[in-house]
């Protein structure tokens, strides 16, 4: 993706968007602006993901616009948001600006794929997230992020982490942390038993799998530090740099006896090699269990470290990876390249 970005490859238009950490702006792959260094960019599959991670749209390449320049009303409202991204613009306030709220919703939906209020909310929460990452106190960020009350903050907290802040203190939680990688941001979750969860944040199953994990362990997920999270971050850095492809970290996956057996077999596949679903089925003692193997691999919640990406079809075709087949292809090529080098 970075190579396509440097080359301004138009065939990648709509495939990914580029966030520039040093400016807080996100762009199309073909933006004419000067190219930043690789370590200063991250990639997103949709404009909404970039917004929610605290980036604002580039004024040169207009990454939110699909059909040419946005209408004057949309430009005006977006400028209002950028003047105070942590504020709020209610329907009443829009009406006071001689803007019909329903027209604003329709035009934003048509041009940006989201309503005006959804866009404003994404910018507000994204700005708050960016400030937290910069080290600002959580209370200060909350007060400046557009939440009108403590109860509103608690509700938002609960939607993300599964419990109110006060309840998080009453029982042993799972600790979660974001880990940035060359393939996108990941979320890692651990407790004193070991690493419980590792998945790409934008994977289609991440939210659902986190909910299942919380329910099975009857606890909540809160942001925080833990030695197993530190170990996961260090070892993932070694993996992606090619320094060391093997992992040595305590794992505590949650699953059925069959799933746990399947995930153990996955860990026996050496880096740089692949196996088939039929091979796994035979190792599990039932040559006809290929579909069950596929389901077990699909519910693996500790990706890369429990390497379900190393399982392919018997004819060599790639299939079935929650993080996206492009990531599966990259991981396999990365491991083979490191093994050869």
- Spot the catalytic one: 61, 308, 319, 338: 308
Q: What is the pLDDT of residue 69?
A: 59
Please count the structural domains in the chain. Answer: 3
Alpha carbons 92 and 99: distance in angstroms, whole number: 9
pLDDT band, very low/low/confident/very high, at 277 (cuts 50, 70, 90): very high
Q: Which of 66-70, 249-253, 277-281 has the lowest mean pLDDT?
A: 66-70
Angle at which helices 290-298 and 257-266 cross, to 10°: 80
81, HSE (Cβ side, Cα atoms, 13 Å): 24
Parent domain of 90: 66-148
pLDDT band, very low/low/confident/very high, at 131 (cuts 50, 70, 90): low
Alpha carbons 165 and 151: distance in angstroms, whole number: 11
CATH code: domain of residue 14: 3.40.10.10
Q: Region 218-244: what's the mean pLDDT? A: 88
Q: Is 173 in contact with 192 (CB distance < 8 Å)?
A: no
Residue 117 within any structural domain of the chain: yes
User: What three-state secondary structure class fits 183?
Assistant: coil
Q: Where are the beta strands (DSSP E) in 285-326?
A: 311-312
Q: Is 175 in contact with 229 (CB distance < 8 Å)?
A: yes
Nearest to 128 by CA among 115, 138, 113, 118: 138
Catalytic residue status for 338: no
Contacts of residue 119, defined as CB under 8 A and 6 or more positions apart, other chains included, come to 51, 78, 81, 108, 112
Q: Is 117 in contact with 105 (CB distance < 8 Å)?
A: yes
Domain boundary among 122, 148, 174: 148
67, pLDDT greater than 60: no
Alpha carbons 333 and 341: distance in angstroms, whole number: 12
Residues 71 and 9 placed together within one structural domain of the fold: no
Residue 334 within any structural domain of the chain: yes
Number of neighbouring beta carbons within 10 Å of residue 131: 19
Alpha carbons 206 and 211: distance in angstroms, whole number: 9
Residues 13 and 71 placed together within one structural domain of the fold: no
Structural tokens at position 329? 């292809």
Residues 45 and 96 placed together within one structural domain of the fold: no
Alpha carbons 279 and 289: distance in angstroms, whole number: 10
Alpha carbons 102 and 149: distance in angstroms, whole number: 26
Alpha carbons 124 and 141: distance in angstroms, whole number: 11
Q: What is the pLDDT of residue 138?
A: 59
Domain boundary among 129, 148, 167: 148
pLDDT band, very low/low/confident/very high, at 267 (cuts 50, 70, 90): very high
DSSP string, 138-156: HHHHHHTTT--SHHHHHHH
- Percentage above 70 pLDDT, the chain: 79
Looking at per-residue pLDDT, the higher value among 129 and 120 belongs to: 120
Domain boundary among 96, 122, 148: 148
CATH code: domain of residue 289: 1.10.10.10
Alpha carbons 321 and 312: distance in angstroms, whole number: 10
Number of neighbouring beta carbons within 10 Å of residue 239: 21
Nearest to 186 by CA among 300, 271, 303, 296: 303
Residue 164 within any structural domain of the chain: no
Residues 107 and 55 placed together within one structural domain of the fold: no
| pTM for the predicted model, two decimal places | 0.56
């Amino acid at each position: 993706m970075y190579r396509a970005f440097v080359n301004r490859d138009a065939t990648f238009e709509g495939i990914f968007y580029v966030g520039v950490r040093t400016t807080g702006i996100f762009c199309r792959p073909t933006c004419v602006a000067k190219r930043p260094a690789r370590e200063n960019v991250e990639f997103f599959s949709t404009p909404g993901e970039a917004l929610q991670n605290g980036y604002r749209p580039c004024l040169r390449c207009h990454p939110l616009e699909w059909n040419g320049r946005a209408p004057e009303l949309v430009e005006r409202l977006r400028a209002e948001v950028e003047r105070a991204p942590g504020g709020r613009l209610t329907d009443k306030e829009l009406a006071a600006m001689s803007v019909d709220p329903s027209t604003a919703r329709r035009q934003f939906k048509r041009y940006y794929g989201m309503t005006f209020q959804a866009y404003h909310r994404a910018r507000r929460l994204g700005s708050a997230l960016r400030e937290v990452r910069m080290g600002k106190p959580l209370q200060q960020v909350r007060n400046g992020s557009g939440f009108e009350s403590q109860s509103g903050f608690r509700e938002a907290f609960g939607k993300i982490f599964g419990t109110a802040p006060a309840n998080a203190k009453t029982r042993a939680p799972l600790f979660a942390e974001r880990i940035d990688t060359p393939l996108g941001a990941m979320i890692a979750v651990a407790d004193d038993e070991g690493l419980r969860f590792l998945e790409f944040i934008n994977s289609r199953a991440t939210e659902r799998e986190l909910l299942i994990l919380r329910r099975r362990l009857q606890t909540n997920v809160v942001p925080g530090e833990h030695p197993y999270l530190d170990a996961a971050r260090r070892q993932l850095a070694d993996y992606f740099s090619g320094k060391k492809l093997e992992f040595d970290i305590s794992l505590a996956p949650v699953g059925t006896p069959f799933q746990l057996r399947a995930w153990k077999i996955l860990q026996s596949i050496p880096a740089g090699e692949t196996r088939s679903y039929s091979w796994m089925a035979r190792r599990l003692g039932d040559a006809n269990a290929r579909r069950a193997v596929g389901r077990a691999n699909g519910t693996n919640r500790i990706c890369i470290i429990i390497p379900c990406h190393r399982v392919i079809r018997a004819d060599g075709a790639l299939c079935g990876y929650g993080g996206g087949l492009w990531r599966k292809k990259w991981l396999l090529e990365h491991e083979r390249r490191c093994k050869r080098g």
